[in-house]
Amino acid sequence: MSEIDETKAPLLDHLIELRRRLLWSVGVLAALFFACLYFARPIFAVLVQPLIAAGQGKIIYTDIFEAFFVEVKVALFAALMLGFPFFATQMWRFVAPGLYMKEKKALLPFLLLTPVFFGGGAAFAYFVAMPWALSFLLGFQGEIGGIQQEALPAVGNYLSFCTRFLFGFGVAFLTPVLLMILERTGIITLDHLTKHRRYAAVASAAVAAVLTPPDAVSMLMMLVPLYLLYEFAILAIRLTHWRAARKAAAGPISAEEKREGPEAPPGGGRVGGSGPI
């Protein structure tokens, strides 16, 4: 009976710690949301710049509540983007005490690279992909059979278009990080990645079809960088293997490093743990 009680205690400690991390994350998200709601119009003014650059000078709303809900969605989207580093840090602080030192050293660089690659993907979408896609899609305006065809995008539709591009490209640019983590954990191998390039191209096309609007230009604007990132991941993995081989040739691993074990979280267990925020 005492053994059962001992196993329940660390589990309860981990659940309490997880709840505390989640509450802090929700609190930060709420604070950022109300701050961004106050600046929702200036934020949306930044988001519509690619539309203006494509030559569209008017945007409409047909539902009486649409403009209000667009500002709410803009605030939530901006709060999620701004709060992502904090949320990732909370997740890391919960998981890190249950990891071995070598596991921490392996995963921490990927955690630090995640916002960099995500931000790079969002920046590529904003400055390159969106202007090109909008120029193509708005190019269908003009006279057809004596009738003037004019684009009048609604604020809600444009926001959905914009967030899909920013989020889709941000997630797509995380491909090297994901593949390197999978290779580091042994789920996939470098040989597997190099031999299945054609499947990677098909998968890139499928992801581009899901995450972008249904037009050829938008899909190609994601498909090409996504596959190039796949090749970049292969190159980066080769580089890490080369560095590991050089390190192994330089000398054996010290006995002290071999003895390094996981940090014991309060109450036992291998996942989670309490600590400062």
Q: What pLDDT digit, counting tens, does each position of 142-190 carry?
A: 878 778 888 888 999 999 989 988 988 888 888 888 888 888 877 888 8
Assess contact for 163 and 78: CB atoms under 8 A: no
- Mean pLDDT score, 105-128: 85
Which range among 23-37, 62-76, 227-241, 246-260 shows the weakest confidence by mean pLDDT?
A: 246-260
**Rounded to an integer, what is the distance from CA 107 to the centroid of its chain?**
16
Nearest to 219, CA basis, from 94, 132, 120, 106 = 132
- Report the length, in residues, of the chain: 277
Radius of gyration from C-alpha coordinates of the chain:
24
Q: What is the mean pLDDT of the chain?
A: 82
Angle of CA points 114, 119, 122, to nearest 5°: 130
Rounded-to-integer distance, Cα 234 and Cα 271, Å? 31
pLDDT of amino acid 35: 96
- Give the model's confidence band at 236: pLDDT under 50 very low, under 70 low, under 90 confident, else very high: confident
Nearest to 212, CA basis, from 140, 125, 135 = 125
The model's pTM is 0.74
Angle of CA points 126, 132, 133, to nearest 5°: 90
Measured from the Cβ of residue 136, the count of other Cβ atoms closer than 10 Å reads: 15
Is pLDDT at 256 greater than 90 in this prediction?
no
- Mean pLDDT score, 263-271: 47
Domain residues of the chain, as ranges? 9-99+106-134+153-249
Is pLDDT at 16 greater than 60 in this prediction?
yes
pLDDT of amino acid 155: 92
- What is the residue-wise DSSP string for the chain? -HHHHHHHHHHHHHHHHHHHHHHHHHHHHHHHHHHHHHTHHHHHHHHTHHHHHTT----B--STTHHHHHHHHHHHHHHHHHHHHHHHHHHHHHHGGGS-HHHHHHHHHHHHHHHHHHHHHHHHIIIIIHHHHHHHHGGG-EEETTEEE----BHHHHHHHHHHHHHHHHHHTTHHHHHHHHHHTTSS-HHHHHHTHHHHHHHHHHHHHHHS-SSHHHHHHHHHHHHHHHHHHHHHHHHHHHHHHHHHHH-PPPHHHHT------TTS-SS------
pLDDT of amino acid 237: 87
- Mean pLDDT score, 201-207: 87
